[in-house]
Chains A and B, each alone.
Chain A
Amino acid sequence: MAKQASNKITTSSTAEYFSKNLQQVGFSSQTKAILTTLKEAIDNALDACEEDGILPEVGVLIEKMGPGSLKNSDQIKIRVEDNGPGIDPDDVPKVFGEYLASSKFGRGRCSRGQQGIGISAATTWAQLTSATGARVITKTKTMRKAVACIVEVDIRHNKGVVKERETIDWNRPHGTTVEFLVDGRVQLNGEAGILNYLSGTALVNPHLTLHYKVPELEPHRIERVTQQMPEIPEAVEPHPHTMKLGEFIAHSHLFGRVKVNQWLKKGFSRIHEGVLSDLVKSGMSKGLLEKSVDSLGEVQFKDLFIALQNLKLMAPSTKSVLSIGEDGFAKSIKRLGAVDFFSVVSRKPAICDFKPVQVEVAVARLEDKSIESESAVQILRFANRVPLQFDKASCAIVHAIESVNWRSYGLVQPKNSIPQGPYIIAVSVVSPFIKFKNASKETVDGSEELVEEIRRALIQAGQKLSKHIRREVKANELEEKIRHIEQFCPILVEGLCRITEASAARKKKAEDGLVKILGRDAHITKQELDKAHAVLEAQKELIEENAEMKVGV
């Protein structure tokens, strides 16, 4: 008993928790640590630019500085600079040094970052491995000089601490540069490589100009392909059917002393007077709706929650989802490398599990045929426009790809597997309430409804693509037929004439006859080819018309 009494129960800060569990937020290996740090910095840069309506220009530098303190590691400098609005100097320690300090938390928007964990975790990793925090330079457009400082996480108190702060001259109107010195290993190639991440980010952000310098490669610049900012939709309030009881009660704390009916109407989407009267009709006490939210007990919250779950409510609005757009996606996919042809599908926003979601798909055939035809196609997965690079096997996107019969569109596909060949299949899922399988946001957790929605988009893209493939097949057939005629006609006729000892005149006549016969076959194929070409042209025109109509609107 005495021993038990001496074992005090202690509490630890959020920062303490995450500093001990960095593997949960993407720092589970040395290569992943580098990628996660880069990813968090770029996410923040892009979110900040979009919030302020600035076309983002992001620069990335990754440099090996020498051996790291961890076993078999290098010390790596990661610098990300953007032309965003800059950060108010007072907010700098919160942004880079405090966990769960976020301007985006629970707003119902499709921003890349949500909880405010990632960049603080990167600072913690730098602190733990290199004993130095994040070096930040930032300037807003109202500041004459930029602020430069080092931010560290006060792990005990979950606070950001600013060190070596100074003001400096900076030749930019506004923007932020953040630099980390971390231990890890740089993996450039492969599915989980940095280059894959950078090209994927460029793909789903057509408005982004990205330049980077990574070890062993020359500096590279990817220009933006559209001057159009993505339309940032209005945030929506949560829908009651997407919440759990705990979230429901926590949500009430954001409102303080307001009446229950006011809280329900203001704090949730799809609740209006009609719903409230339905609530009363279903047996809910009218008096309870008039009470102040902060006076409700747990039982009352539970009753109210259950009553709402039993009511039939309108599905949430789909206006809150953000779209890359077929036009932008189409232009952007060419930045991945030379492609023979591609198809892009932007589905209309839909409701899956009472959450608005928009699925967009691009399928492209690469010109580079050096890729083994038996190797699986390259899959690029995106959630809220952030590339997902790990744990592919359990991702809803991959399940949807496997469920489509790609053979009917002309691709090679082993049964219930990923198709094969020199293709890229890019799938973007955008939703303000996207569900990941883990905190490091590596895999989309898919319900049957979401998988079906992705599947439909893939089928549409496959159908469009098959028109290109069909045309190609027809063109090859025509070429083959013409080659056949040229090759075999003289051989066949000569052989027949030798056996029958036919005269030269008969031979000439037979040759002409054979060319005529086979020419008819080639003509039929040519007609089929023209038909396939016309279908493709009609499809292109339709896409262009749709794009013009959108611009007109």
Chain B
Amino acid sequence: MPSTDQTIPKLSKELCNRLLVDLERAKRPVLYATKCSLDNAIYSHKNGFLTPGSKKVATELNVSSVKKMSRAVFMLEILLRNIDTGAVNTKRELYYISKGEIKHNSSLRPLDFGDQDESDEIIDFICEMLECYREELNCYANDRGGQTYSQQLVVTETLPDGDKAVVDLSKLGTTPFQPKNRPQNLKLSARKKIDFCLIVESEGTANTLVANGFTKRHASILMGAQGVPSNAVRGWCKLIQDQLAVPLYFFGDLDAYTMQNIFRTLKAGSAASLIRNSDYSAPDVRFLGVLPEDIKKYDLNDYPVKENDAQEVRALKKAQDALKNDPFFHDKKNKGLTAILNWLLENKRRCEQQAFFTVDPRDPTMPEKIIVEKIKQGRFI
């Protein structure tokens, strides 16, 4: 795993040199990339996240792959230049940068990308070969999700020029702190002891909780995940876990999609990002609910999975596959989560996080009360 700023250029040069040596000997070069899929994912409770197995995807240079390799070398050159100058770009911008390069050099025209999917695929291919994540190539996604509120948290950011910026979240009012896609440059500290961190699936519900005074009443960090957690959210949770050592709880819907696409990704990473799960997963995060028993206890409104809703049916199908093939759900330590998936498959019902508002519709703080009660009573998995 690359760690220093010079690792990527060094690895890239070594790789290119190996290719060149093979070509000089008229030997067919072969590139190996980590296979990023569930059948090459390993999970152990000790690590707490999905790690890559030994499977590699070999790309041999031949007439069919020469175009892909040429494009990879072309894109790598652009990325190395960015690393050298400290410039950063999104995938979309890199697509246009490559178009611009080709525009100014007609001999490169055969490499031209038809659409962004083609250039994205090449960037991912480079990441898999170098076993790095794209943020290490100065390629950042749009910062999405992770809006964070706290009266205790202080964030210190080391800027590229070495300066330090200190952000005291208690001074931001109702404005949230937005974590970056590469939160490794941040240092966290607490003005006072923080009791827990709550990650809420719905950003709207997170805002509501803050507006109703959650962070004033509880020494906590409250974060809106905004659906499937982005790299920023995942890295940010990992940072909170490692640097503050506070318990983390996830509060979201009770359905198959939330369990395996949102919560599992947050806790253990994903199969597509096997090579970066170590930095982008927070294994200590616990599932606070909604739990199946909460439906009965609080008489929550739940409803059956709609047979004609393709997305919901697909999620159930994926849940079945996950029980069969996902090493995360095979681990004994996660049997509580596996039981929830089984319950969902068996009962074919779902319950949304906002259902807590039905308990006492006239008390806007009722969901907060239930959440805190659940934490205190240890009713989470």
Cβ–Cβ < 8 Å partners of A495 in chain B: 16, 70, 73-74, 76-77
Please measure, in the bound complex, the distance between the C-alpha atom of A148 and the C-alpha atom of B23, giving whole angstroms: 88
Is A496's CB under 8 angstroms from B19's CB?
yes
Is A488's CB under 8 angstroms from B70's CB?
yes
* A492-533 to B contact mask, C-beta < 8 Å, 1/0: 110111111010001001111110111001100000000000
Cβ–Cβ < 8 Å partners of A521 in chain B: 62-63
Cβ–Cβ < 8 Å partners of A513 in chain B: 22-27
Please measure, in the bound complex, the distance between the C-alpha atom of A18 and the C-alpha atom of B76, giving whole angstroms: 82
Nearest chain B residue, comparing its CB with the CB of A509: B24
Is B23's CB under 8 angstroms from A510's CB?
yes
Stretch of B46-54, B104-112, B255-263 on the interface side: B104-112
* B102-125 to A contact mask, C-beta < 8 Å, 1/0: 000001101100000000000000
Stretch of A169-177, A252-260, A270-278, A479-487 on the interface side: A479-487
Nearest chain A residue, comparing its CB with the CB of B22: A513
Cβ–Cβ < 8 Å partners of A518 in chain B: 62-63, 66
Cβ–Cβ < 8 Å partners of B332 in chain A: none
Please measure, in the bound complex, the distance between the C-alpha atom of A490 and the C-alpha atom of B109, giving whole angstroms: 12
Cβ–Cβ < 8 Å partners of B69 in chain A: 492
Least Cβ–Cβ distance between B381 and chain A, in angstroms: 47
Please measure, in the bound complex, the distance between the C-alpha atom of A495 and the C-alpha atom of B20, giving whole angstroms: 10
Please measure, in the bound complex, the distance between the C-alpha atom of A237 and the C-alpha atom of B18, giving whole angstroms: 83
Is A499's CB under 8 angstroms from B27's CB?
no
Asked if B12 is at the interface of the complex by the 8 Å CB criterion, the answer is: yes
Please measure, in the bound complex, the distance between the C-alpha atom of A497 and the C-alpha atom of B73, giving whole angstroms: 10
Cβ–Cβ < 8 Å partners of B107 in chain A: 490-491
Do A517 and B61 form a contact, CB below 8 Å, given A500-B17, A510-B23? Answer: yes
Do A500 and B25 form a contact, CB below 8 Å, given A488-B67, A492-B66, A495-B74? Answer: no
Asked if B80 is at the interface of the complex by the 8 Å CB criterion, the answer is: yes
Is A488's CB under 8 angstroms from B66's CB?
yes
Nearest chain B residue, comparing its CB with the CB of A498: B77
- With beta carbons under 8 angstroms apart, the residue of A481, A491, A511 that contacts B108 is A491
Is B70's CB under 8 angstroms from A491's CB?
yes
Least Cβ–Cβ distance between A521 and chain B, in angstroms: 4
Do A499 and B73 form a contact, CB below 8 Å, given A518-B62, A518-B66? Answer: yes
Please measure, in the bound complex, the distance between the C-alpha atom of A256 and the C-alpha atom of B107, giving whole angstroms: 92
* B6-46 to A contact mask, C-beta < 8 Å, 1/0: 00000011001101101111111000000000000000000
Is B26's CB under 8 angstroms from A489's CB?
no
Cβ–Cβ < 8 Å partners of B70 in chain A: 488, 491-492, 495
Is B24's CB under 8 angstroms from A496's CB?
no
Is A500's CB under 8 angstroms from B20's CB?
yes
Is A517's CB under 8 angstroms from B26's CB?
yes
Nearest chain B residue, comparing its CB with the CB of A490: B107
Is B76's CB under 8 angstroms from A499's CB?
yes
Least Cβ–Cβ distance between A464 and chain B, in angstroms: 29
Do A506 and B77 form a contact, CB below 8 Å, given A485-B63, A496-B19, A518-B63? Answer: no
Please measure, in the bound complex, the distance between the C-alpha atom of A2 and the C-alpha atom of B38, giving whole angstroms: 92
Size category of the B interface is 20 to 34
Cβ–Cβ < 8 Å partners of A497 in chain B: 20
Cβ–Cβ < 8 Å partners of A484 in chain B: 63, 66-67
Cβ–Cβ < 8 Å partners of B66 in chain A: 484-485, 488-489, 492, 514, 518
Please measure, in the bound complex, the distance between the C-alpha atom of A365 and the C-alpha atom of B62, giving whole angstroms: 32
Please measure, in the bound complex, the distance between the C-alpha atom of A521 and the C-alpha atom of B60, giving whole angstroms: 12
Nearest chain A residue, comparing its CB with the CB of B107: A491
Do A499 and B16 form a contact, CB below 8 Å, given A492-B69, A518-B66? Answer: yes
- With beta carbons under 8 angstroms apart, the residue of B20, B28, B80 that contacts A496 is B20
Is B26's CB under 8 angstroms from A499's CB?
no
Cβ–Cβ < 8 Å partners of A488 in chain B: 66-67, 70, 110
Please measure, in the bound complex, the distance between the C-alpha atom of A512 and the C-alpha atom of B23, giving whole angstroms: 8
- With beta carbons under 8 angstroms apart, the residue of B24, B27, B67, B111 that contacts A506 is B24
Please measure, in the bound complex, the distance between the C-alpha atom of A489 and the C-alpha atom of B111, giving whole angstroms: 12
Cβ–Cβ < 8 Å partners of B12 in chain A: 499
Please measure, in the bound complex, the distance between the C-alpha atom of A488 and the C-alpha atom of B66, giving whole angstroms: 7
Is A499's CB under 8 angstroms from B80's CB?
yes
Nearest chain A residue, comparing its CB with the CB of B111: A491
Pick the most buried of B26, B28, B107: most chain A CB atoms within 10 A of its CB: B26
Cβ–Cβ < 8 Å partners of B20 in chain A: 493, 496-497, 500, 502, 506, 510
Least Cβ–Cβ distance between A487 and chain B, in angstroms: 4
Pick the most buried of A491, A509, A522: most chain B CB atoms within 10 A of its CB: A491
Nearest chain B residue, comparing its CB with the CB of A512: B26
Nearest chain A residue, comparing its CB with the CB of B66: A488
Please measure, in the bound complex, the distance between the C-alpha atom of A497 and the C-alpha atom of B20, giving whole angstroms: 8
Cβ–Cβ < 8 Å partners of B108 in chain A: 491
Nearest chain B residue, comparing its CB with the CB of A484: B63
Is A522's CB under 8 angstroms from B63's CB?
yes
* A372-386 to B contact mask, C-beta < 8 Å, 1/0: 000000000000000
Is B110's CB under 8 angstroms from A491's CB?
yes
Please measure, in the bound complex, the distance between the C-alpha atom of A450 and the C-alpha atom of B66, giving whole angstroms: 52
Nearest chain B residue, comparing its CB with the CB of A480: B63
Please measure, in the bound complex, the distance between the C-alpha atom of A502 and the C-alpha atom of B18, giving whole angstroms: 12
Cβ–Cβ < 8 Å partners of B25 in chain A: 513
Nearest chain B residue, comparing its CB with the CB of A518: B63
Nearest chain A residue, comparing its CB with the CB of B15: A499
Nearest chain A residue, comparing its CB with the CB of B62: A521
Cβ–Cβ < 8 Å partners of A493 in chain B: 20, 23
Do A487 and B63 form a contact, CB below 8 Å, given A499-B80, A514-B23, A516-B26? Answer: no
* A222-263 to B contact mask, C-beta < 8 Å, 1/0: 000000000000000000000000000000000000000000
Please measure, in the bound complex, the distance between the C-alpha atom of A502 and the C-alpha atom of B16, giving whole angstroms: 10
Pick the most buried of B25, B63, B69, B111: most chain A CB atoms within 10 A of its CB: B63
Is B61's CB under 8 angstroms from A499's CB?
no
Least Cβ–Cβ distance between A98 and chain B, in angstroms: 66
Least Cβ–Cβ distance between A524 and chain B, in angstroms: 9
Please measure, in the bound complex, the distance between the C-alpha atom of A484 and the C-alpha atom of B66, giving whole angstroms: 8
Is A500's CB under 8 angstroms from B13's CB?
yes
Please measure, in the bound complex, the distance between the C-alpha atom of A517 and the C-alpha atom of B26, giving whole angstroms: 6
Please measure, in the bound complex, the distance between the C-alpha atom of A496 and the C-alpha atom of B21, giving whole angstroms: 10
Please measure, in the bound complex, the distance between the C-alpha atom of A518 and the C-alpha atom of B77, giving whole angstroms: 24
Nearest chain B residue, comparing its CB with the CB of A483: B110
Cβ–Cβ < 8 Å partners of A492 in chain B: 66, 69-70, 73
Please measure, in the bound complex, the distance between the C-alpha atom of A485 and the C-alpha atom of B65, giving whole angstroms: 11
Is B110's CB under 8 angstroms from A487's CB?
yes
Least Cβ–Cβ distance between B27 and chain A, in angstroms: 7
Residues of chain A in range 298-351 having any CB-CB distance to chain B below 8 Å: none
Least Cβ–Cβ distance between B339 and chain A, in angstroms: 43
Can you give 30 contacting A-B residue pairs, CB < 8 Å?
Answer: A484-B66, A485-B66, A488-B66, A488-B70, A490-B107, A491-B70, A491-B110, A492-B66, A492-B70, A493-B23, A495-B74, A496-B20, A496-B23, A496-B73, A498-B77, A499-B13, A499-B76, A499-B77, A502-B20, A506-B20, A510-B20, A510-B23, A511-B23, A513-B22, A513-B25, A517-B23, A517-B26, A517-B28, A517-B61, A518-B63
A-B interface, 8 closest residue pairs, ranked by CB to CB distance from nearest: A495-B73, A513-B26, A510-B23, A487-B110, A492-B70, A521-B63, A513-B23, A481-B63
Known contacts A488-B67, A490-B107, A514-B61; 14 additional CB pairs below 8 A are: A480-B63, A487-B110, A488-B66, A488-B110, A491-B70, A492-B69, A499-B13, A511-B23, A513-B22, A513-B24, A514-B66, A518-B62, A521-B62, A521-B63
- Chain B residues proximal to chain A, CB less than 8 Å: 12-13, 16-17, 19-20, 22-28, 61-63, 66-67, 69-70, 73-74, 76-77, 80, 107-108, 110-111
